[in-house]
Amino acid sequence: MDLPVQQFRTKAEQAYLDLFEAAENALPGARDSFVAGLRANAIETYGRLGLPHRRIEAWKYTDLRTRLTDVNPLGKGEGVAVSEAALSGALGAELANLPAYRLVIVEGDLRADLSDLAGLKAAGVEAVSLARALEKPPAWLKKALAQINPRDDDAMIALNTALMTGGVGLQIGNGVILDKPIHLIQLDGKGDPASIFTRNVVVAEPGSAATVLESFGGLGLHAPQRNAVTELRIGAEAAIKHFKVQRERDDAFHLSTWLVELGPDARYDAFQFSTGAALARNQVYLHFAGEGAAADISGAFLLRARQHCDTTLLIEHRVPHCTSRELFKAVLDGESRGVFQGKIIVSPGAQKTDGKQMAGALLLSETAEFDSKPELEIFADDVICGHGATSGQIDEDLLFYLEARGIPEEEARALLIQAFVGEALERVEDERLRDALGSASAAWLGISPSD
């Protein structure tokens, strides 16, 4: 139990309260009692918890109370011109051009002109602008918003609920099997620094199957501060692949939370890839609500200079016969810091749980740091759970082997780094997406992708 030790509010802490007070009456859904109630409740939770700090175990390595000193004003993405060239610039051409149902969200504003809403509707997916839907939420959204794997102990989720300005709501119909991914392109705007609070709610009805790709990039906004939450409910026997690609500016603050609930015999395959932001925190809270479900949450992050990236997972096995897998790879150069915290909780009665996690880091400099904290809390007696962590430098013997075959040292190093990341990328089944991530890794390494 973490005791409240907050004595005073920091400037940033207070700034969020001020932001809410100033914007409250203009936020989407201000006149809807359900939405206004959610927001009021959330800001109260935030006020009670304050910004997370290092004495809270889950935030041990990412002390927002210290690191967040200034808070940007709320961003409004309306009217920002977005060209195809700008999309390619923000995400890389391969990713931007991936065949998909594209939904483009600029600072929370779902841009109908750039989005394939009609295509999604024809394919059996109800897609709505969250900003608009909050004004008068449809019944399905009311049953999902802030209710999928909800938490009352996370100040940053509460802050998102209080201040969410937009995003998308997706309802994937019963038995609908999509032929191509839904690509949520989430951009920051241009010009002045802004705080961006986006919220996506995805409900996959029973028996449906879809890929949801969330990509984050910048159009040129200085030091954007993003707090993005995606709620995802996966119904019985539904199968969802969920990807995240984060290539934001190196001065960005990026906080992302996925709240996931799996129904019986559901399947969830998630992969997170991250090279951007000065400070990034990727949280995934997942719980198994029905027997026989399986989840794989994997990812890779590549950091340099003074970048900080924290991946924190909480997997809760509340019912028997579920399987969870995690594999994360970190490449750390310069004075960067990578954090991996993976917690698996197996409730009493969640027998036959099978949970495994693995995290590995490749340190390219003497000053890079990797903190790995696996935690298993097991309250059932017939389970298989395990974890592992590795951390090391490039193997000189492997390097020599490649050099002895005529591959110059720099290229050989890059190949070994790609190989390290490649072990995680193998989890991505979609070949085009895997190639796009491979190219993104190559771009990070400063090498042009091979044809």
Partner 1 sequence: MLEIKNLHVNVDGREILNGLDLTLPQGEVHAIMGPNGSGKSTLAYVLAGKEDYEVTAGSVTWNGEDLLAMVPSDRAVAGVFLAFQYPMEIPGVATMTFLRTAVNAVRKARGEAELSTPDFLRFVREKAAALKIEPDMLKRPLNVGFSGGEKKRNEILQMALLEPSLCVLDETDSGLDIDAVRIVAAGVNALRSPERAMLVITHYQRLLNYIVPDRVHVLSEGRVARSGGPELALELEETGYAEFGGEAA
Exposed/middle/buried for residue 18 (C-beta within 10 Å: 0-12, 13-18, 19+): exposed
Residue 413, CA distances (Å) to 343, 396, 405 in order: 33, 10, 13
Query: Smallest distance, Å, CB 398 to partner 1?
Result: 5
Residue from the set 176, 398, 442, 443 that interacts with partner 1 by CB under 8 A = 398
Residue from the set 209, 378, 416, 442 that interacts with partner 1 by CB under 8 A = 416
Residue from the set 112, 177, 419, 429 that interacts with partner 1 by CB under 8 A = 419
Residue from the set 291, 375, 403, 435 that interacts with partner 1 by CB under 8 A = 403
Query: Smallest distance, Å, CB 100 to partner 1?
Result: 27
Query: Smallest distance, Å, CB 76 to partner 1?
Result: 44
Restricted to residues 421-440, the positions that interact with partner 1 (CB under 8 A) are: 421-423, 426
Distance CA 260, CA 200 (A): 12
Residue from the set 366, 381, 396, 431 that interacts with partner 1 by CB under 8 A = 396
Restricted to residues 196-235, the positions that interact with partner 1 (CB under 8 A) are: none
64 touching partner 1, by CB under 8 A: no
Q: Which two tokens stand for residue 262?
A: 């799996």
Q: Which two tokens stand for residue 50?
A: 């304050």
Residue 249's φ and ψ, nearest 5 degrees, are -55, 155
- CA-based angle 251:129:138, to the nearest 5? 135
Query: Smallest distance, Å, CB 448 to partner 1?
Result: 13
- Count interface residues toward partner 1 (CB under 8 A): 26
Residue from the set 7, 404, 431, 448 that interacts with partner 1 by CB under 8 A = 404
Instruction: State which residue, 21 or 409, has the beta carbon closest to partner 1.
Output: 409
388 touching partner 1, by CB under 8 A: no
Distance CA 423, CA 329 (A): 8
446 touching partner 1, by CB under 8 A: no
Residue 376's φ and ψ, nearest 5 degrees, are -120, 125
- Across 305-325, b (16+ Cβ under 10 Å) vs e yields eebbbbbbbbbbbbbbbbbbb
DSSP string covering 267-305 = EEEEEEEE---SEEEEEEEEEE-STT-EEEEEEEEEE-T
Instruction: State which residue, 79 or 446, has the beta carbon closest to partner 1.
Output: 446
The one segment of 71-79, 264-272, 343-351, 391-399 that binds partner 1 by CB under 8 A: 391-399
Query: Smallest distance, Å, CB 417 to partner 1?
Result: 10
- Residue 93's beta-bridge partner residues? none
Residues that bind partner 1 (CB under 8 A): 396-398, 400-409, 411-412, 415-416, 418-423, 426, 450-451
